[in-house]
Amino acid sequence: MVVLGRKALLLIISLIPGIVLSDTATIDTWPVFKIGFHVNSFPDLTLSDSKHTLDFLTEELGKFSKLKVSNIAYSDIRKMRDDFQLGVFNFVILPPLTIIKHYNTELLRGGINATASNHSLDALQLITRKNSGIDSISALQGKRVSLLENGSFSEFYLETLVSRISNIEMSHFFSNIDKQKKSQRLIFKLFFNQTDAIVVYRSQCSLAIEMNPQIGKEFQVIKQLENIPRGIGFFHKDVSEKIREYIILQVLKFQDSVRGQQLLEILKADQFKRSYLSDLQAVNDLFFDNRHTK
């Protein structure tokens, strides 16, 4: 009697009319999508928000498509980097500056990015009130400025702008540096003249203006850094191109589902798009500019 191999047996069963393979019969062959993220790295998301968002993605995307999805939360960025290098997880989500500072980009391959306002990338803006007389960085000396509490990139950008025109430390250049948990809170503070300048992403300001057009009449952008991803995801280079492409296509399909739309709403994004290493270029240039001016 001939003993059939498991794969041959499964193939024969799948061809018999009325017989359907269950998910449990093939789940061991599903591609692994294991996400690593840093809990302190995302502006506008609290620690619990970021964890719940990734748990939501893990559960719902896993249901939607044939992927074994999981996530690992890290508080130690160095431990996270080391685990990524060792292959403990195969997809990293981080703000771009953190990637530039801590990761070897040669280990990265294109992935996925959540974008807003139909732009592939966002812009970081330094905004003041119109008719305030604050039309340049130098005019901000001795003034109040407000930033996101978890917005290390906003602070880094502002520090670079100050260092281009002055040898004074940023903490002494401004009369007060105030930090808020949400971009909307920053926008309201400037609108009600409780601060002199804010640093926010264009997409967040555009959303506020849609809700209250008067904000657009009161604000002016005095500096802007274009082509900046708010947060971005990349695969490890050891994930095959075939599997990367399959996972990306599943995520792009998922965004059109009810749960996918709910996830985008949580992320305050309009859609998922492909990410490329070239998306890091503007942040990389700013990083070296900062080092040079210092």
How many percent of the chain have pLDDT more than 70?
87
Q: Is the pLDDT of residue 221 over 60?
A: yes
What is the pLDDT averaged over residues 23-34? 73
* Contact yes or no for 287/101 (Cβ under 8 A): yes
If one counts every other C-beta atom within 10 angstroms of the C-beta of residue 52, the result is 13
d(CA 274, CA 242): 15
The per-residue pLDDT for 115 is: 87
Q: Is the pLDDT of residue 10 over 90?
A: no
Name the average pLDDT for the chain.
Answer: 87
- Record the tokens describing residue 85, joined without a space: 């290098």
Q: Could you please report the per-residue DSSP string of 229-268?
A: -SSEEEEETTS-HHHHHHHHHHHHHHTTSHHHHHHHHHTT
19 versus 65: the higher-pLDDT residue is: 65
d(CA 100, CA 96): 6
What is the pLDDT averaged over residues 10-24? 37
**Residue 221 CB contacts under 8 Å (≥ 6 apart), including other chains:** 125, 126, 127
